[in-house]
Structure 1
Amino acid sequence: MQYDFDKIILRNGTNAIKWDGLDKTFGAADILPMWIADMDFEAPQPVIDAVVNRAQHGIYGYTEKPESFYSSISNWMKKRHGWQIDNKWIEVSAGVVPAISLSILSYSEPGDKILLQSPVYYPFFSAIESNNRVMVNNQLIYENHQYKIDFNDLESKLKTGVKVIILCNPHNPVGRVWSREELEKIGELCIRYNVIIVSDEIHSDLIFGKHTHIPIASISEELAERTVTCMAPSKTFNIAGLYTSAVIISDDTLRGEFKNTMNRLNAEAKNLFGIIALEAAYTYGEEWLEQALPYLEGNLDFLVDYFITKIPNIKVSKPQGTYLAWLDCKELGMNQKDLVDFFIHKA
């Protein structure tokens, strides 16, 4: 099937946060909504068909997850990422951010240190602070138009008693797809200092050029035994509003602790249509994705070229993964308040 990604579908009036939340959030409704990480493409037709067919049944009672649901996840991981997982390793949460919070609660105590690598997706900060943990920042280094990990700083901070590192791969928002060498270094340090890895890999299907996504848990059994991998079809297939994510934990003890926390908080995802959509997306959505990726990369190429030729004092590097663009506005010489005002009212 040929998909038309040029098709314009108005989302105003559907309670879409991206569009209908502009005035409430920014005090202006006539701005371009580049603040929410979802696309304006229709989901793959097999996903639409599966949801519609189930909706037509007319009864939406409590629903269990069939074995085919779990197999769709494990088959996708094997086919797209070369990672062989067992269905029993999979827990299901109502999103990656809830899974990160559940992990923090499962593997640390109030007052413990949790490390992240900024600039990074802002809910990571609130997941740490709202659970009364201490945020430790391993600031990424911006060098030659690319972000890198400061491994000396990372080790100096991990050795202070950090319990959990929240890894973002591909990294939101800087667009880095961490290399095997970088992941191995992170893993080596986490093993040395007994740190649990919670890896947000929600953008793992959105990779461009020669880059390849490597699940950190796939590198070695030793690393897998201390890793919680958070995956979802939500970014890949534009179905974030269905709130269904996979949490992959091979170690029985870690998985048991996570499951106990999830049960204690009644936090397992049981969304009827989320279950249906995830299975359909991972089973039948690859054709859609293979057409979407070059379209997304074309958009990013256009954007980067536009800034280089039209707005050279705002720097942007093409991301290796994700459909996000991280703008360097330092040359504008504005403070944060003025920069926000500029983008909302003048840009």
Structure 2
Amino acid sequence: MTLFEALPNRKKTRSYKWDMVEKLYGSQDIQPMWVADMDLPIASPIKQALHERVDHAIFGYTFTDAHVNQVIQQWLSTQHDWEIDTDWIIYSPGVIPTLHMAVLTQTNPGDKVLIQTPVYPPFYDVINNHDRKLVTNSLIEQDGYYTMDFEDLEEKFRQGVKAFILCNPHNPVGRVWTEKELKKIALLCDQYDVLLFSDEIHADLTFDEAKHIPISSLNESTNNRTITCMSPTKTFNLAGLQISYAIVPNKAMRRAMTQMLHKYGLHMLNTLGITALEAAYHEGKEWLNELLDLLTVNRDFVIDAFKDCKQIKATKPEGTYLIWLDCRGMNRTHNEIKRFMQEEAKVGLNDGMTFGTEGKGFMRINIASPTSYVQQGVNKILEALDNSEERRLKT
């Protein structure tokens, strides 16, 4: 049996994905395919490192040292051709806390902060919860492929946007922005003096046809205005260990971020999270390659399964393990689509509307599971569509 063939039993482990099903979907008889974590075992070197740390049996205050910084530096160099100074690294419990700190330290109440919608729901809170003005730049969708509306983006920048939260690879539409697209963003940010907060947590999860480019790596000017948020948690299925880091080349921006993290007591990190990060980046590459092979198989299955379906189309992602399902062909209201998935297909997906108004008629499905599990969920959706059509024809 291969590493990713069996479905782990995650029930009664306080798993948000599995043990909240009844509360969120109204029934235990739901196949969860929503929260962005994996139904897959972690890499053996990470597991071994965690066992050794647990066997030590003392969990006092822990700090990150030069070796941890160097492991990150080496990972970014080999994975993304990005050469950083280890002094640029700051740590936090997660990318979203880091974005909160970025908004608090680099903008002022009333400042305009832009996001590209539909997008990861916490981005909205990062702006609204701190009395900043939310500005949206809707992505353009054509035949299941998303691009940026640069004309609208520039107009929004011209109207006084202070900061732009970029999502790359993009959640939920799965785009990995090209060098050409990133250079356009960088040029506009430079022209209109807009700061960049770049969420690149899915950076390592790209398919063969795409290459992730950290936007901060493009040139010195962009490097100096960018806070890049990264983490091993999505890559290596470590979300519960709550560790991430930001690359902040600008000394003044980095000092302000560090001070704010201390102010809110977010500077002391999870001991096991530090251990896992070090092991993942030092010895996790082979596991990651196997994971990407699995995700490619799963992605291609989902795309092919919906290829001839008139009611649901699957957006082919270039990165992440999330697929954006266009359900507008079902000719139902958004709430009816949600009920169909829960009550007829009996799968738990993410509601597209939580990503923004552009998500109306869409759902998001997680494919980071054994292939058989992904096939089961997709087939339940297709069978429910067939059954629904049969009922319609009989009436």
Do they fold alike, i.e. is TM over 0.5? yes
Residue 344 (structure 1) aligns with: 342
1:183-203 deviations in Å (ceiling 9; x for gaps)? 000011111111110000000
* Partner residue, 2:237: 238
The equivalent residue for 1:165 is 164
Which AA in structure 2 matches 1:65? T
Matches within 5 A, 1:29-48: 29-48=28-47
Which amino acid is 2:341 matched to?
F
Q: Which residue of 1 aligns with 2:180?
A: 181
- TM-score norm. by structure 1 comes to 0.97
Match of 2:112 in 1: 113
In structure 1, runs of 5+ residues without a counterpart are: none
Map of 2:325 onto structure 1: 327
Please tell me whether the aligned partners of residues 3 and 288 of structure 1 are also in contact (alpha carbons under 8 angstroms).
Answer: no
The within-5 A match list for 1:1-347 is 4-309=3-308, 311-347=309-345
> Secondary structure of 2:323's match?
coil
- Could you tell me which residue of structure 1 aligns to residue 376 of structure 2? none
Determine the C-alpha separation between the residues in 2 that align with 1:332 and 1:33: 22
RMSD: 1.1
Using the aligned pairs only, state the percent identity. Answer: 43
Structure-2 separation of matches of 1:103 and 1:36 = 25
Residue 269 of structure 2 aligns to a residue whose secondary structure is: coil
The offset of 1:317, in angstroms, is: 2.2
| Distance (Å, rounded) in 2 between the aligned partners of 1:82 and 1:23 | 44
Q: Residues 171 and 320 of structure 2 are in contact (CA less than 8 Å); yes or no, is this contact kept in structure 1?
A: yes
Q: CA deviation at 1:209?
A: 2.0
TM-score by length of 2: 0.86
Distance 2:310 2:303 in 1: 10
User: How far is the alpha carbon of 1:68 from its aligned partner?
Assistant: 1.1
Deviation at 1:330, TM superposition (A): 1.0
Q: Secondary structure at the match of 1:229?
A: strand
Task: State the structure with more CA Rg.
Answer: 2
How far off is 1:324 after superposition? 0.4
Give the match's secondary structure for 1:205.
Answer: coil
SS in 2 for 1:51: helix
The CA distance in 1 between the partners of 2:335 and 2:310, in whole Å, is 22
Output the CA distance in 2 between the equivalents of 1:259 and 1:191: 25
Q: What is the rounded CA distance, in whole Å, between the counterparts of 1:18 and 1:24 in structure 2?
A: 11
Deviation at 1:294, TM superposition (A): 1.0
Q: Which runs of 4+ in 1 moved over 4 A?
A: none
